[in-house]
Amino acid sequence: MERLLVTGGAGFIGSNFVHHLVDHTDLNITVLDKLTYAASQESLAGLPEDRVQLVVGDIADEDVVEPLVAAHDAVVHYAAESHNDNSLNDPSPFIRTNILGTYTILEAVRKHDKRLHHVSTDEVYGDLELDDPKRFTEDTPYNPSSPYSASKAGSDHLVRAWVRSFGVRATVSNCSNNYGPWQHIEKFIPRQITNVIDGIRPKLYGSGENVRDWIHADDHSSAVLTILEKGRIGETYLIGADGEKNNLEVVRLILTLMGKDADDFDHVNDRAGHDLRYAIESGKLRQELGWQPQFQDFESGLANTIEWYQTHEDWWRPHKDATEAKYAEKGQ
Ligand code: NAD
Ligand code: TDX
């Protein structure tokens, strides 16, 4: 494998993966990205031009996708509409990009017999009760709750069907909630960090008891590369780093790390259909493929992330007012 096509490589996690590839492989990388509101070309700045190329285009556009797939050895597919709250406001781009876009990629890899790794989310499994001792495994039945997670579930099913029906050489990974630098400030952790910087009280949906299983984006990237290199075709791997925390704990930690009173937050309107708890059992990936997360300590990973947002205000500031105005319309 010499040439890799990375869709959505200008987004939060895709760009982290491109940096990871530059540092840990000799691959030449083409990023295919539509540069939506969620993308950031700055996240790719400074990478070697002889190894990383950006093509601006839509994964649902067959005329763009097919020749690119033909010219590469494998595809790692990150491109998606990714934010649950946006999917509640307007599901249409989620259906188009996440379902039709994945279908377009699948038809191209089928035609040109290329290896595919499809990046997905633990949200396809729905949610767990707060007091349930179980975690998600590769055998958990699909039960998505939101338009976003349903569209990702649909994309996973398409990949599985193309493997079984057409012999497409694909793997799938379902990862838990990522945090780290370059995450759009619409998402929970960067929204609250930038609120505190601005002197705004962090905003917790509902009771704040909802649990997410946090993993640093660097660990997600190393897991995806491990699956690309060593994963068994047709298999699904769950990616997680034993990082379960409820939203209340995360907000209190952000406030404390930023030198504020831990109770200095507000409860706001809950998200419609808000999933209670996600939790990943990642034994298959660890035991079969030998992967281990590097960020074992959430508090220090979060402290680094806070520092990154404090020192990269130029990057997020232009998006802050519009992001908050959208939330304000819903009392969030
Ligand atoms: P993001 O929203 O930060 O980035 C998505 C990228 O995809 C952007 O650069 C955007 O421009 C691009 N894109 C969107 N529509 C496109 C289209 N039609 N054609 C080409 N490019 C398009 O998302 P993220 O948080 O980096 O998530 C990346 C992937 O990882 C997604 O598939 C998501 O479902 C999955 N995932 C995310 C998380 C998480 O916690 N953020 C967890 C598990 C899985
Ligand atoms: O202001 C907020 N207040 C709040 O309490 C926001 C933006 C969120 N929340 C809550 C909702 C969730 O319980 O925080 C939790 C995390 O919210 P998000 O950052 O929106 O993430 P989530 O909905 O859990 O989905 C994320 O993880 C799985 C990513 O956005 C998805 O792309 C990924 O698939």
Q: Check if the beta carbon of residue 303 is closer than 8 Å to that of residue 189.
A: no
Mean pLDDT of 187-191: 98
Q: DSSP letter at 231?
A: P
Tokens at residue 280, please?
A: 């990943």
- Note the pTM of the prediction, 2 decimals: 0.99
Domains of the chain are 3-178+214-239 (3.40.50.720)
Task: Tell me how far apart the alpha carbons of residues 206 and 237 are, in angstroms, rounded to a whole number.
Answer: 32
Select from 16, 187, 274, 332 the residue to mutate for testing ligand 2; criterion: most ligand atoms less than 8 Å from CB.
187
Ligand nearest the Cα atom of residue 14: 1
Mean pLDDT of 93-112: 98
Q: How far apart are the first and last CA of the chain?
A: 46
Q: How far is CA 188 from CA 4, 215, 310, in A?
A: 31, 14, 16
Ligand nearest the Cα atom of residue 94: 1
pLDDT bucket at 167, cuts 50 / 70 / 90 = very high
Indicate if ligand 1 lies below 6 Å from the C-beta of 35: yes
Residues 19-73 pLDDT 10s: 999 999 999 999 999 999 999 999 999 999 999 999 999 999 999 999 999 999 9
For atom 14 of ligand 2, which residue has the closest CA? 188
Q: 291 CA to middle of ligand 2, Å? A: 26
Residues 127-157 pLDDT 10s: 999 999 999 999 999 999 999 999 999 999 9
Q: How far is CA 191 from CA 9, 83, 188, 208, 327, in A?
A: 22, 13, 5, 15, 11
pLDDT of residue 180: 98
Q: How far is CA 318 from CA 14, 87, 185, 198, in A?
A: 22, 22, 11, 13
Residues 273-330 pLDDT 10s: 999 999 999 999 999 999 999 998 999 999 999 999 999 999 999 999 999 999 999 9
Select from 177, 267, 327 the residue to mutate for testing ligand 2; criterion: most ligand atoms less than 8 Å from CB.
177
Single-letter code of the amino acid located at 38:
A
Residues 205-261 pLDDT 10s: 999 999 999 999 999 999 999 999 999 999 999 999 999 999 999 999 999 999 999
Active site residues: 122-123, 148
